[in-house]
Structure 1
Amino acid sequence: MTVLFDNLQSVSAAQVYKSAFATHTSSPSFTQPVKCPIEVCLSDEKQTQLAYFLRILKQASQQSRWIMFIGDEAMLDKNLLQSAEIDLNKVLLLRNKKGLTDQKLMEKALSTGNCSAVIATGDVENFESDEIRQAAENGSSYAFIINRRSKMKLTFH
């Protein structure tokens, strides 16, 4: 799966999820996360993105690592996470950023290998760096960027 996305700057949660099911029809395997940031658009017209995102997080929560949300704005509703069968005991919320940017915090969290997924909010373009790609690869972690604003972006499925 990672080879498919190696040359892209970012991908959508739907692309990642569909790619996993296309190659693993019975049960998707998320042991090889994609290197580039995964954009999750949370707007009324893109509710399917949320569903795909939650399915990927459910798989990530089955690992013996953390799911880290960077900042309150990235955190999803606890009831939503529970209904998606995400283990809340593996969810961390980082509030004290100590003057670091979300990009730098994401890079650090990804590179440690202690997180199966790291989630921040903002424009995915701000997270499309070689440092974040390398950190995601080194830590075998997902880098999710939640875009809470609706924007028109052509996505190929």
Structure 2
Amino acid sequence: MNALAYQNRSVTHHINGHYQAGLEEQPVITQGIVSEMVFREDQPWMSQLILLPLLRQLSQQARWQLWITPGQKLNRQWLVSAGLPLSKVMHVQARQEQQPTTVSAMARALKSGNYSVVIGWLPEELSDQERLLLQQSAEEGQAIGFIMRPVSRVNLSDRQNFGIKIQSNLYH
């Protein structure tokens, strides 16, 4: 199932010393999608590097962005410095231990069609039933759902055992 279509946007290309108008294809969400980002709590900047360009692009839509965070307020200065318009960001604080409530709130928001993206922080992995509920809701509302989940220490140690070390003479 393809979650992206392409919208033509006019751009200017420099060809043989002259600027010419052309078309650049930009992805636009036409179907819903849910994605999960597992992150290390000691490296929050990594998820910011990945998400911020997409969130800035989605902020150009007429719809809102909903952030459901565990007990912390969003820093307004950080949002502005990240290039996200405060006028399109809604924030709901959820209790860390209330994953079913957070999943239910995400599903309602995704289904409504009022949000281009719904970002929820969850302490544990989703069940298959929760994942299906979110996916169906995102498809109905043509929205993106991001599940942010910290890596547990158990998962982190397991991943190191299964990791592959790639040697390269480019760096030696």
Instruction: Please give the TM-score of this superposition, normalised by the length of structure 1.
Output: 0.66
Greater RCO (Cα-Cα under 8 Å, separation 6 or more) = 1
Aligned-pair RMSD on alpha carbons? 3.3
Q: Deviations over 1:98-148 (max 9, x none)?
A: x87100000000000000111111146326521100111111111112224
Aligned partner of 2:141 in structure 1 is 139
Describe the superposition over 1:6-57 as per-residue Cα deviations: whole angstroms up to 9, x where unpaired. Answer: xxxxxxxxxxxxxxxxxxxx67424246523331525344633211111111
* Partner SS for 1:125: coil
Cα distance in 2 for partners of 1:33, 1:74 equals 30
For the 8 Å contact 1:41–1:146, the answer to whether it is kept is yes
Is 1:86 aligned with 2:84?
yes
* 125-134 or 143-152, larger mean C-alpha shift: 143-152
- What is the Cα deviation at residue 67 of structure 1? 0.6
Mind listing any 5+ residue stretches in structure 2 that lack a counterpart? 4-23, 164-172
Q: Check whether the contact 1:110–1:139 (CA below 8 A) recurs between aligned residues.
A: yes
2:168 alignment counterpart: none
Task: Identify which range, 125-134 or 55-64, moves more after superposition.
Answer: 125-134
Partner of 1:64: 62
Q: Which residue does the alignment assign to 2:111?
A: 111
Taking the aligned partners of 1:78 and 1:65, their CA distance within structure 2 comes to: 19
- Change in CA separation of 1:74 and 1:148 when aligned onto 2, cut-off 3 Å: farther
- For 1:84 and 1:33, how far apart are their aligned partners in 2? 26
Structure 1 range deviating more: 109-118 or 140-149: 140-149
- Where structure 1 has 5 or more consecutive residues not aligned to the other structure, the ranges are 5-25
Distance 1:94 1:76, change over 3 A: closer
Cα 1:53–1:27, aligned 2, differ >3 Å: closer, same or farther?
A: farther
Equivalence for 2:52 = 54
Describe the SS at the equivalent of 1:145.
strand
* Residues in 2 aligned to 1:129 and 1:74: alpha-carbon distance in whole angstroms: 24
Provide the aligned length of Structure 1 versus Structure 2: 132
Residue of structure 2 equivalent to 1:12:
none
Between structures 1 and 2, the one with greater strand share:
2
Tell me the distance in 1 between the aligned counterparts of 2:29 and 2:137: 15
**Quick check: 1:42–1:146 contact (8 Å CA) kept in 2?**
no
1:10-21 alignment runs, 5 A limit:
none
| Percentage of pairs with the same residue | 27
**What corresponds to 1:21 in structure 2?**
none
Structure 1 residue identity aligned to 2:41? S
- TM-score scaled by structure 2? 0.61
Q: Which moved more, 1:129-138 or 1:47-56?
A: 47-56
